[in-house]
């Protein structure tokens, strides 16, 4: 990689994880690691901004040797990776979430449910019929519906046996958008969140702790849940594999997550 011939133009690099920083095999390439290291050496901070809660993110950050702040749970959690400490956490009003679910099901019929509990070690609960992506991420099955509401939650996941993700998110947003926020964060991942919560709110909190602003920020993402982050950042870069809704609001489209799309952009910026 060539050395920088002019100052790196951003003080903050915000990257989504799945479909963005992570390749399809859930690893981060050497090229991308090197590009991020070069950007931080040039004075930029790197913040991971992910829909995953802390327990599903921590092992990736540890593998990267990442010691800074991370925004997890769609903005609900600001996590200090170096100190393994949760700095802020926003929870979903469980009574409101239950009401929202009943209203959605009145429109769609029964949903399959999962939920992410709050905290550094919060479990992900998975109910009957919910399709979990294969991989190493831990979860716990529940059978009694009351178990879903027995402890504070960051989010509730919903799936429908027939509606696709975009249609389910659209119906849910149309039905309960005044009660909770609804985001589509990946294949089979439609989430109910506290109203007003987004990756942008979490990223703005983390950036403020570093003395940085939206104008200092370049952001990378691949899904509709990254739209608020792109709206907040000075420059939004969508991966080639990104959802069309995100591509429509991106300032730039780079290569896919499997072809080092983050590194492609950072290397160009570093070389001037």
Would you give the end-to-end CA distance of the chain in angstroms?
12
> What mean pLDDT is predicted for residues 97-113?
96
Give me the chain's average pLDDT, please. Answer: 93
Res 234 pLDDT > 60: yes
> What mean pLDDT is predicted for residues 26-53?
95
At residue 186 the predicted structure's pLDDT band, cuts being 50, 70 and 90, is confident
Query: Do the Cβ atoms of 16 and 60 come closer than 8 Å?
Result: no
Query: Do the Cβ atoms of 187 and 241 come closer than 8 Å?
Result: no
At residue 272 the predicted structure's pLDDT band, cuts being 50, 70 and 90, is confident
Cα–Cα distance between 121 and 37 in angstroms, integer?
29
Domains delineated in the chain = 12-89+198-271 (3.40.50.1000), 94-193 (3.30.1240.10)
Buried b (16+ CB within 10 A) or exposed e, 230-268: bebbebbbbbebbbeebeeebeebbebbeebbbbbbbbe
Sign for the CA dihedral angle at 120, 243, 198, 195 comes to negative
Cα–Cα distance between 243 and 246 in angstroms, integer?
6
Query: Do the Cβ atoms of 111 and 101 come closer than 8 Å?
Result: yes
- Quick: pLDDT tens for 135-176: 667 889 998 989 999 999 999 999 999 999 999 999 999 999
**Is this model's pTM higher than 0.85 or not?**
yes
- Quick: pLDDT tens for 9-32: 999 999 999 999 999 999 999 999
At residue 117 the predicted structure's pLDDT band, cuts being 50, 70 and 90, is very high
User: How many Cα atoms are found within 13 Å in the side-chain-facing hemisphere of 161?
Assistant: 6
Cα–Cα distance between 155 and 115 in angstroms, integer?
6
34: Cβ contacts below 8 Å, ≥ 6 apart: 1, 263
């Amino acid at each position: 990689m060539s050395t920088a011939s002019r100052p790196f133009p951003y003080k903050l690099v915000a990257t989504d994880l799945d479909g963005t920083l992570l390749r399809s095999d859930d690893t981060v390439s050497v090229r991308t690691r090197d590009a991020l290291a070069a950007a931080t050496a040039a004075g930029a901070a790197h913040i991971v901004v992910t829909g995953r809660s802390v327990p599903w993110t921590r092992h990736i950050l540890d593998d990267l040797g990442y010691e800074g702040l991370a925004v997890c749970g769609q903005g609900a959690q600001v996590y200090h990776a170096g100190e393994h400490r949760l700095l802020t956490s926003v929870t979903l009003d469980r009574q409101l979430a239950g009401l929202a679910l009943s209203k959605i099901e009145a429109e769609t019929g029964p949903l399959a449910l999962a939920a992410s509990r709050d905290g550094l070690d919060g479990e992900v609960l998975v109910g009957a019929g919910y399709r979990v992506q294969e991989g190493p991420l831990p979860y716990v099955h529940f059978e009694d519906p009351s178990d879903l509401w027995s402890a504070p939650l960051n989010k509730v996941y919903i799936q429908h046996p027939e509606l696709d993700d975009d249609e389910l998110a659209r119906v849910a947003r149309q039905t309960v958008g005044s009660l909770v926020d609804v985001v589509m964060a990946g294949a089979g991942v439609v989430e109910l969140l506290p109203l007003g919560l987004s990756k942008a709110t979490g990223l703005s909190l983390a950036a403020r702790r570093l003395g940085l602003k939206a104008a200092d920020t370049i952001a990378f993402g691949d899904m509709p849940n990254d739209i608020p982050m792109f709206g907040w950042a000075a420059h939004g870069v969508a991966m080639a594999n990104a959802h069309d809704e995100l591509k429509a609001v991106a300032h730039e489209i780079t290569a896919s997550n499997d072809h080092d799309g983050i590194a492609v952009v950072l290397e160009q910026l570093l070389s001037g």
